[in-house]
Structure 1
Amino acid sequence: MTEVRIDYDGEGLDESQVPPAPYDLVRQWVGDARRRQDASGDVPEPEAISIATANAQHAPHVRTVLMRYLETDGPGFYTNLESAKASDLAANPQVAGALTWPMMFRAIRFTGTARELPRDVVRTYFDSRPWGSRVGAWVSKQSRPLDSRAELEAANAEMAARYPDTGSPDDVPLPDFWGGYRIDCDEIEFWAGRHSRLHDRLVFVRTAEGNLDDPSAWRLERRWP
């Protein structure tokens, strides 16, 4: 395999740039990624987050979803509650997530415990999705074997006929098997790429109960790259 080497040319991250709690910096970096995508188009899906879980047999799994929840109680995502990731989290709620923006030489890593999002939060987000995505939530038996693409298309056509697009947010009901999770974080790491692999790694470590915007709940440490 031919190696491709890139010397990271990031801005780095200094302690003086970091607030006393992680929430504002998470929001800032996500906002920076969105603006970069709008301006140059080289940060596609700026909210794509890789989610790592482990099942009851301790076998690890990782997949990329969209971070559609970010509040002071943690980042989160929505999914089929009968999916492989949901089965893993039922057996072992420990979870890790990573936002990575290679063109910006930045990443954020979250580790902690998965908590299911309240149904009213799930419903509000579900109703905001495009009609096709809401129908798709009913169609997909996520993570289970599928015989063919034709079977998927037929199931989608059947569900689209059952719940036609009326332009109303309630024309497709919320499935009982569709919901979301947030990460109740124990650590949040901000990674900033620098020359010669001398990267900056600043990590918020939980020291007490409290949300991501509560300085009394966190201490900051720098780690070797």
Structure 2
Amino acid sequence: MRVGYGGGIPPNVGDGDRAAGADGVRDNLDPSWLDGEPPWLELFTVWLREAVAARIPEPNAMVLGTVDVNGLPATRTVLCKGVDAGGVVFFTGYDSDKGHDLAANPFAAVTFPWIALERQVHFRGPVTKVSDAETQAYWNNRPRGSQLSGYASEQSREIGSRAELEAKAASVAEQFGGFDDGDPVPAPSNWGGYRIEPVFVEFWQGRANRLHNRVRLTMIDGCWRAARLQP
């Protein structure tokens, strides 16, 4: 079933290239918008900030794609916890399905799907673990409840029931002095961050009549090349 975007066809659909999409921007996404070092960072930062301002639920949520040892792809939604010139950062258990996939094939793709704004940003590239210091700094800023859950969970492993899962979390909370206060909860040794170092970055902007705008950056011989793609 095909559906419309952003509540229907914009009233200025007849304006051709000047027709605004759901993001309210009349100007069409263009390779000239990508500038700086790296050239994708400034525009991505603006779009993320505007997704926050538009009250998009979980604006830092991204769909992460990995491939396992047998070549089988998998996707799931994770939270981006940092973006800078070095790439896109997220955290997970090293023994999770994601961790096993990345150990076998250290490459990934992520997409930020800001559908309500008719915008997407897509990254692809090799993946490396962040430093222990970066993992620790992020762990220290997590709410205590999230720390306890992360410490208790053997991520991606089977468990018999919800009650058993809650009992594990309660046991860990007791071990460290309670859910609300107590001893510091250490970061598990098999948990930490990954950084996707992009070699492809694509910006997508929805337009009327499905004549969408796509601009892709590709890293070639150490330099970024920008190009417009057909939708």
Q: Same fold by TM-score, threshold 0.5 exceeded? A: yes
- Paired residue total: 211
- Aligned ranges 1:140-155 → 2 under 5 Å: 140-155=153-168
Q: Name the SS for the 2:158 alignment partner.
A: coil
Aligned to 1:213: none
Aligned to 2:217: 204
Among 24, 35, 38, which residue is 1:19 paired with? 35
**Does structure 1 residue 104 correspond to structure 2 residue 117?**
yes
Among 50, 55, 73, which residue is 2:63 paired with? 50
Conservation of the 8 A alpha-carbon contact between 2:62 and 2:77 = yes
- Aligned ranges 1:48-197 → 2 under 5 Å: 48-164=61-177, 171-197=184-210
Q: How many angstroms apart in 1 are the aligned matches of 2:163 and 2:148?
A: 17
In structure 1, list runs of 5 or more residues that go unmatched.
38-42, 210-216
Among 208, 218, 226, which residue is 1:220 paired with? 226
For residue 17 of structure 1, report the CA deviation from its aligned partner: 2.9
Instruction: Answer with 1 or 2: which has the greater Rg.
Output: 2
Q: How many angstroms apart in 2 are the aligned matches of 1:189 and 1:118?
A: 27
Structure-1-length-normalised TM-score: 0.88
Greater RCO structure (CA 8 Å; 6+ sep): 1
Q: Name the SS for the 2:193 alignment partner.
A: strand
Structure-2-length-normalised TM-score: 0.86
Conservation of the 8 A alpha-carbon contact between 2:66 and 2:108 = yes
Q: CA RMSD in A?
A: 1.7
In structure 2, list runs of 5 or more residues that go unmatched.
10-20
Q: Which runs of 4+ in 1 moved over 3 A?
A: 2-8, 165-168
Q: Deviations over 1:79-137 (max 9, x none)?
A: 01100010001001121000010110000000011111111000000000000001111
